[in-house]
Structure 1
């Protein structure tokens, strides 16, 4: 488990330096006194031990004479530090001066301006979560991987740990002779290091920031191969996929499909993959994935797929691999100058990854999955407390909060909107111009805006970017008929419970579709008009490309809903989202929402079918009367079972539907999920629980992987602790990453007091991986009793919980309680977390968003609760 290390006294290495006035500790960007130009890292790493050792040399340019420097190091036991200028060596004392990993070097003599080599000998602890250099035991073997973004390289070597410092890295690693070692670059040589260790020497890297440096050590399975030459890259590229021992068969899919995804990116960017080789490596402890140049790291479930992997896992593979490989250009080739512009990395990788994922396998639903995530981001962006896509970051404790749905989903959808507005080819010219302009360098938002404007030939796009990137909120476009077109007006969307703000406007590309004809205008003021040029039903937000919602009068909703069941998926999803948003803002009625849900229940695409029903199910947070609770179950049944029955009998066995069209399979799975969890259909739940029991009993064909997560949840909730114990034992024995993830997720959905007590015990179960224990704690708040239990645990023993959470995830802890709906709950959440923000290393934004979500629920219940009760309680 990890402990945040506080500043500690450093070992005195030489005579004391002459006293000088202490400089203020830089808690954000470092002063401009020094700039690294190259790193040489040599590490001694045995994953079976608790600590590792290192020697780091940093070629540095000193900008002015000084007797001290700030740099970064977190939890490093530095035993020797020196500065060498030519043939002269000056001793230094290293002190960590802030828990975020700011350190100071005090020299025994003055460093002149110019070139200097800083040298360090040190040791440090392995971490257990995915931060710094972390280790895990898998089976009988120990492994180690790195995860440095955003500011965890400093846990592994002294550094200037900022994204704007891009230098070559030369890495060598001593590791146990029986183990393999991989890094960002190809291995050049290896030899005996003594003591059962082998030294592995790697080629110098292209210029990289510290957070993209990566390596891994362990008895890995490696499936080597190559990415074939193509029209853009004229030679084959060394390409391998890597995982823990015994997983080679599950790597075959990634070995085959990774090069296909890479080639799609090369075609779009018009330039070859920019590094010497590409390895993709799996880790059971990794949370998500990381775009390390030449050595991309993924959670096991994202990279390790069985032959009959469910569509959801294949979609996850495609979306995430495409996202991380997009980063090799946007983020690795061109890196942001500072964390303020991390959105340039993530927004673009989100857009490009989803685009390529859809091209790779269109039937998996990548496109609609991206839009569903963007609609969810609009909910966050509509709150009283929020942040723009681009927010100035001045302190280390603000960095983690920048990796949120504004950066990823809002930014990605904004790029979809801009691409549709400019046209795909003009947008691509801007992207290519930007990557060539800043190749192997760094850029900020202004540079990006200038690149897109110049490359596309449209300088007018810059105000569009700025209006969405630099302010919070979601535009809502009021639409009313006006002859052959619409009168349109914009304002900030404000749901009930969100305080009014000063008037805002955006430069909004407003597009509609009639038949095959798109009509667009750029709405720059509070109001305007849109002339419609087609015929038939006029559909706002053509192609679901815009980052905005719309509001209609009741007649307008009726007209639109009459044709909604036949709309393309993204447009139908936009209808459902905007209708619910109009209700949550106090305009559309709840009966209109229910009518819309019934209409869209016939849509062919699962997300369009179930978006409104899922929103309706959220009113259960209000604490409905028994009659309304029964009415909600009845409505959920009406919205799912007839459609499900029309698809034929539900069969849960493997490959039960043969070569059925994938979209129909996905629709059936989604309807089964909704009918079991919201309608709580008793027969369906019995069927799911029985299949889960049979599967756990050894019947390999009893349960298709596409239904397994749901079946295990139902079995946990309906069969209780005895089943949980069997499931826990199966997890410990299994080497199947997807089964482990699904089973742990089911154990976290405990719903009764006894089940919740058992799940909390598993949080301390060392037989599970550290990430699995954390997943149980994160998952329990999805159910009301679990939420209360985790809140009580954190009230009693906050420090124990905090120790089990990697530093990057700590600011997000308050969000686990956003499902509460009561003024007393908001007060309790604030009382728990407000005094803990410093210990968490941030979280003020996330706490504010949590409190806002709770208070929004309270306000919506007060304003609409009687109307909801009247409809559902009939």
Structure 2
């Protein structure tokens, strides 16, 4: 699953928790029973508020019992029977915990052996992307599913854990005019009467509950073509699916999805492991989900216009590659339990970025991957954190495992290991693992053993374990030692982060000098690295390592003098390490600023703007007017000359058609930085004028690549009147990208009146539920919006939290990590700590939020005067 964080409503508040006893399994179920097959028959009419279901579960019962625990969340169960041979027992069904734990109490002893459990029930459709949810799009109602991690239990009674893989057979009765899709091909259909049709689907390969999927509605279907190749000897049924009227925007998914799939097949050496592949869009979906045979995406990820911006094309390629990688890592081989969900997500992140770059090299997937990994290091450096492999004991801990540590840290660790081992040996290990556990389950120890045997290098296991099983980022202090380096490792600790016991990792340290790459494996606190090339020596060759480095000032001066000519990933790693050395109390702020000026000439946008974006963060300190003016002047120096060097700014549609993608993306990033950090009046005027003209009906006035930034500038400069025009245009639009850009712009309000209007829009039922929550998530990214949302939560916490699906709700505290005062930290603590039960988790996220605020406070105290002095001189 590729997450975009928050989405919409759930039932945690309406399901009373029974008095808990120690035997209620709030994490893994016991070994009392194990499912062996499911047969699901559902009647689904998306125009109605509820659906009905009949579920049969073939179950192996370990020992005679009068009760069993399984899962079901807000299911109105009318009848339960258990059939064991010729004997039938009835049971009473009781939901005993709000997380969806249920107990069956039988009217006699259920014997050991094979038993079939049969349930008849009905349940509500959800409105956000959880369980079986529905939405109205245009004049039509649709239904989709989103079950990961623990929401299958909202659609059917189940043993809702990843370790239980079984075949599923689905029969779906739906209105005759609507199309129905599931994981497997439809094998029969017939009339059910009353305007309904019965659709029967083939039994699936063994799947966990979270990968079961279906969709019902008046969909457009565009068939693609997944031809046979060297790995898969036969053609594969393939299609792209979306709501009515979107067929034209499905063309890229129909033509390019099979190409991305073939790149994975070539790497894994294993044919796509399921019977067909449908890719389906949903306007409510948050991110994307790797359901076997029926992969679901947010509309903006799958529906692209012919003039789609490079960023949207890049997101398409990366996310499709991520979800299709899951067909092997996650679907073919599934973790035994949520503790090892990193085996799914880290590999999908790594493989998705790898294949995205192969699919269209010019879109910048590789530098985007590193930028996300560097951001994950900030999270990993906090006092409160978690390792990639975190033991999950309770269901309310599961959602915390779907974060940047699992995805981006995990993906970067895999990149580091692959570069250290060599791509061929790494690939052999991956292929060995997938073949060893195909259609089954595996845990971390299984994976480590597979990589050792498949790669032929058992020494890689301690490297994996040192990064996967402990929290934190290594920082490598580098000092010149003759012709080489003396290196020392420790845990990176920024100012404000509490000291911990000494840590070491097995760190593959690679440097580049000229064209020569030199590596060593640092297993202790200190070591040496012999450099074998000539010229500038660059730590962290290709930016592949999951570590930061620290130099003395002379070392930084030498490295940064040549930074503008470094390859993009190495320049990004250097900029990140310099900023981190500053926030740890080592490098000076003056060195940071001088290096930002050097990197302003780098050809790649992420390298150009990494340090300027970090510098902009000091605005949280509450600068004096002189320092604030200096910050704006510095931001102008770092953006406007480079922007002008690219030519006169033209915002009209197609103005830069045919231009090299990297240069186009650099210009777009510079425009955004100049508008919102430098606050350049002329750039903002151009953006605002183009936004007004676009909404007035001039289709050529504003290219989609600049629409997002122009809408934000117009919301901020023109206020409520423009916001109301934008809302009208949003509701009239069927373009998912336009709608997303409009929603995010509305959430960027930064005046009292505009924020009040935006808060009202978060309750506007004319918007999709996911759009309302996106606005709620965007508002706290600016100080005035953050205060307004916080105040609203203080007034009505449960109602607001209830608009967010259970999976995303524990992340709500992180919306307030941008505060920078002890008083605000205390207020956040006071608001959220008593409400963690309502959030269904969130202790980790609250701790990270408080830590981020306290770090800011400590950095301001330690470096505020230095920052003020440097910025004041920049006027």
Q: Does structure 2 conserve the Cα–Cα contact (< 8 Å) formed by 1:6 and 1:98?
A: no
What is the rounded CA distance, in whole Å, between the counterparts of 1:53 and 1:789 in structure 2?
41
What is the rounded CA distance, in whole Å, between the counterparts of 2:706 and 2:629 in structure 1?
26
1:127 Cα deviation from its structure 2 partner: 0.2
Q: Which residue of 1 aligns with 2:6?
A: none
1:562 Cα deviation from its structure 2 partner: 1.2
Note the residue ranges of structure 2 that are not aligned, 5 or more in a row: 1-8
Deviations 1:216-269 (A, max 9, x none): 000000012320111111111000000000000000010010000000000000
Residue 472 (1) aligns with residue 471 (2): yes
What is the rounded CA distance, in whole Å, between the counterparts of 1:866 and 1:770 in structure 2?
45
What is the rounded CA distance, in whole Å, between the counterparts of 1:135 and 1:180 in structure 2?
14
Note the residue ranges of structure 1 that are not aligned, 5 or more in a row: 11-20
1:584 Cα deviation from its structure 2 partner: 0.2
What is the rounded CA distance, in whole Å, between the counterparts of 1:7 and 1:82 in structure 2?
24
Residue 2 (1) aligns with residue 10 (2): yes
DSSP-derived class of the 1:764 partner: coil
DSSP-derived class of the 1:37 partner: strand
Q: Which residue of 2 aligns with 1:16?
A: none
Q: Which residue of 2 aligns with 1:84?
A: 83
Q: Which residue of 1 aligns with 2:865?
A: 866
What is the rounded CA distance, in whole Å, between the counterparts of 1:5 and 1:491 in structure 2?
45
Q: Which residue of 1 aligns with 2:794?
A: 795
Q: Does structure 1 conserve the Cα–Cα contact (< 8 Å) formed by 2:225 and 2:255?
A: no
Q: Which residue of 1 aligns with 2:831?
A: 832
What is the rounded CA distance, in whole Å, between the counterparts of 1:195 and 1:727 in structure 2?
42
1:133 Cα deviation from its structure 2 partner: 0.3
DSSP-derived class of the 1:227 partner: coil
What is the rounded CA distance, in whole Å, between the counterparts of 1:5 and 1:132 in structure 2?
16
Q: Which residue of 1 aligns with 2:601?
A: 602
What is the rounded CA distance, in whole Å, between the counterparts of 1:165 and 1:197 in structure 2?
33
What is the rounded CA distance, in whole Å, between the counterparts of 1:833 and 1:774 in structure 2?
19
Residue 397 (1) aligns with residue 396 (2): yes
What is the rounded CA distance, in whole Å, between the counterparts of 1:786 and 1:849 in structure 2?
21
Deviations 1:1-26 (A, max 9, x none): 4322655699xxxxxxxxxx977100
What is the rounded CA distance, in whole Å, between the counterparts of 1:728 and 1:70 in structure 2?
48
Q: Does structure 2 conserve the Cα–Cα contact (< 8 Å) formed by 1:225 and 1:239?
A: yes
What is the rounded CA distance, in whole Å, between the counterparts of 2:304 and 2:500 in structure 1?
49
Q: Which residue of 2 aligns with 1:180?
A: 179
Alpha-carbon spacing, 1:279–1:67, altered in 2? closer, same or farther (3 Å): same
What is the rounded CA distance, in whole Å, between the counterparts of 2:86 and 2:746 in structure 1?
62
DSSP-derived class of the 2:807 partner: helix
Residue 668 (1) aligns with residue 637 (2): no
Aligned length: 864
1:132 Cα deviation from its structure 2 partner: 0.1
Q: Which residue of 2 aligns with 1:653?
A: 652
Q: Does structure 2 conserve the Cα–Cα contact (< 8 Å) formed by 1:142 and 1:218?
A: yes
What is the rounded CA distance, in whole Å, between the counterparts of 1:411 and 1:177 in structure 2?
46
What is the rounded CA distance, in whole Å, between the counterparts of 2:802 and 2:551 in structure 1?
50
Alignment of 1:299-448 (within 5 A): 299-448=298-447
Deviations 1:325-384 (A, max 9, x none): 000000000000000000000000000000000000000000000000000000000000
Q: Does structure 2 conserve the Cα–Cα contact (< 8 Å) formed by 1:331 and 1:345?
A: yes
DSSP-derived class of the 1:873 partner: helix
Q: Which residue of 2 aligns with 1:116?
A: 115
What is the rounded CA distance, in whole Å, between the counterparts of 1:164 and 1:784 in structure 2?
44
DSSP-derived class of the 1:29 partner: coil
What is the rounded CA distance, in whole Å, between the counterparts of 1:458 and 1:224 in structure 2?
44
Q: Does structure 1 conserve the Cα–Cα contact (< 8 Å) formed by 2:224 and 2:255?
A: no
What is the rounded CA distance, in whole Å, between the counterparts of 2:658 and 2:269 in structure 1?
37
Moved more, 225-234 or 21-30: 21-30
DSSP-derived class of the 2:225 partner: strand
Q: Which residue of 2 aligns with 1:782?
A: 781
Question: 1 or 2 for the larger relative contact order (CA 8 Å, sep ≥6)?
Answer: 2
What is the rounded CA distance, in whole Å, between the counterparts of 1:453 and 1:602 in structure 2?
44
Q: Alignment RMSD, CA only?
A: 1.0
1:658 Cα deviation from its structure 2 partner: 2.8
DSSP-derived class of the 2:385 partner: coil
What is the rounded CA distance, in whole Å, between the counterparts of 1:22 and 1:799 in structure 2?
26
What is the rounded CA distance, in whole Å, between the counterparts of 1:556 and 1:493 in structure 2?
19
What is the rounded CA distance, in whole Å, between the counterparts of 2:746 and 2:505 in structure 1?
45
1:100 Cα deviation from its structure 2 partner: 0.3
What is the rounded CA distance, in whole Å, between the counterparts of 2:718 and 2:681 in structure 1?
13
Alpha-carbon spacing, 1:335–1:131, altered in 2? closer, same or farther (3 Å): same
Q: Does structure 1 conserve the Cα–Cα contact (< 8 Å) formed by 2:17 and 2:97?
A: no
1:660 Cα deviation from its structure 2 partner: 1.2
What is the rounded CA distance, in whole Å, between the counterparts of 1:89 and 1:23 in structure 2?
30
What is the rounded CA distance, in whole Å, between the counterparts of 1:9 and 1:353 in structure 2?
40
What is the rounded CA distance, in whole Å, between the counterparts of 2:131 and 2:124 in structure 1?
10
Q: Does structure 2 conserve the Cα–Cα contact (< 8 Å) formed by 1:5 and 1:75?
A: no
Moved more, 223-232 or 548-557: 223-232
Q: Which residue of 2 aligns with 1:15?
A: none
DSSP-derived class of the 2:169 partner: strand
What is the rounded CA distance, in whole Å, between the counterparts of 1:181 and 1:657 in structure 2?
42
Moved more, 695-704 or 436-445: 695-704
Alignment of 1:618-637 (within 5 A): 618-637=617-636
Q: Does structure 1 conserve the Cα–Cα contact (< 8 Å) formed by 2:13 and 2:838?
A: no
What is the rounded CA distance, in whole Å, between the counterparts of 1:61 and 1:267 in structure 2?
39
DSSP-derived class of the 2:748 partner: coil
Q: Does structure 2 conserve the Cα–Cα contact (< 8 Å) formed by 1:519 and 1:532?
A: yes
Q: Which residue of 2 aligns with 1:617?
A: 616
Alignment of 1:215-234 (within 5 A): 215-234=214-233
What is the rounded CA distance, in whole Å, between the counterparts of 1:9 and 1:633 in structure 2?
54
What is the rounded CA distance, in whole Å, between the counterparts of 2:21 and 2:431 in structure 1?
47
DSSP-derived class of the 1:385 partner: coil
DSSP-derived class of the 1:173 partner: strand
What is the rounded CA distance, in whole Å, between the counterparts of 1:680 and 1:830 in structure 2?
34
What is the rounded CA distance, in whole Å, between the counterparts of 1:84 and 1:274 in structure 2?
33
Q: Which residue of 2 aligns with 1:742?
A: 741
What is the rounded CA distance, in whole Å, between the counterparts of 1:622 and 1:847 in structure 2?
21
What is the rounded CA distance, in whole Å, between the counterparts of 1:673 and 1:360 in structure 2?
27
What is the rounded CA distance, in whole Å, between the counterparts of 2:223 and 2:555 in structure 1?
58
